[in-house]
Amino acid sequence: MNCIPIMISGLPGNVARVMAEAVLQDERFTLVPFSLTGEEISDGQVAVDQTTVTLLKPSERERKINEILESYPGCICVDYTHPTAVNDNAKFYVAHKMPFVMGTTGGDRQDLERTVKNASMPAVIAPNMAKQIVGLQAMLEYGANTFPGLFNGFTLQVKESHQQGKADTSGTAKALVACFNQLGIDFDISSIEKIRDPKIQRENLGVEAQYIKGHAWHTYTIQAPDGSALFELTHNINGRQNYVSGTFDAVMFLKTKIDTNAFEQKLFTMIDVLTAGK
């Protein structure tokens, strides 16, 4: 099998680095030595193991992209950049007919979906690439659709803790809140408690020091109005390796869709990826 060229956008960021290192270790893929990055990044290159990756700012990428695509035909992009870059990056990929996996949260998600639906190539976008979290979300969506109003009158408290550099409220938390809303709980996403203080994470939550700079801890507490019933859902992810497998499954999903010309539908989610892999 020919190796699939993957361009990881977001270097020198931590998640993008984990993805790039994993690509180099996976015989199915070859790492495209270019990465979309932010205009504010001063470095022109970054080393990933023994590979030098050239960083392309928004002001530079148009001049290089055709050469890159000629050198790496069939390139699939994996985006772990910044919420402020989501929509512009997606439009760039679409303009150059590049299939992509959008692992970055935030941005204008409705605009992102419109962009993909009007594209000529498919994309996978999801608020979380960890397969087990995606499965949990799917189960909650099933429950919400099957038992709407089940928790009418109950209250909800949501706490989500991530590394200090995560700018936006967790997309996963927002998605699960939507399920709880359908289950009858009146709760607005603006009430999600977003924890980014390393001292609080370490001392109050118990996040281990080695994961302070890379974790995703969520707790959802549901309580009856009179206090007679309490339900609590917790999912804690330490580090970033959990996202690699799901991301690569999404890449293989797109590759299969493209090879079989089976993408009348352009917009796919991680639930589509999991369903296809059953």
Q: Point out the residues that are catalytic.
A: 162, 166
The first and second tokens of residue 20, run together, are: 């790039």
13 burial level (CB within 10 Å; 0-12, 13-18, 19+) = buried
Please name the residue that has the structure tokens 């020091």: 209
Q: What's the distance, CA 114 to chain centroid?
A: 18
In three-state form (DSSP H/G/I as H, E/B as E, the rest C), the secondary structure along the chain is CCCEEEEEECCCCHHHHHHHHHHHHCCCEEECCEEECCCCCCCCEEEECCEEEEEECCCCHHHHHHHHHHHCCCCEEEECCCHHHHHHHHHHHHHCCCCEEECCCCCCHHHHHHHHHCCCCCEEECCCCCHHHHHHHHHHHHHHHHCCCCCCCCEEEEEEEECCCCCCCCHHHHHHHHHHHHCCCCCCHHHCEEECCHHHHHHHHCCCHHHCCCEEEEEEEEECCCCCCEEEEEEEEECCCHHHHHHHHHHHHHHHHHHCCCCCCCEECHHHHHHHCC
Q: What's the distance, CA 86 to chain centroid?
A: 11
Confirm if 201 and 161 have CB atoms less than 8 A apart. yes
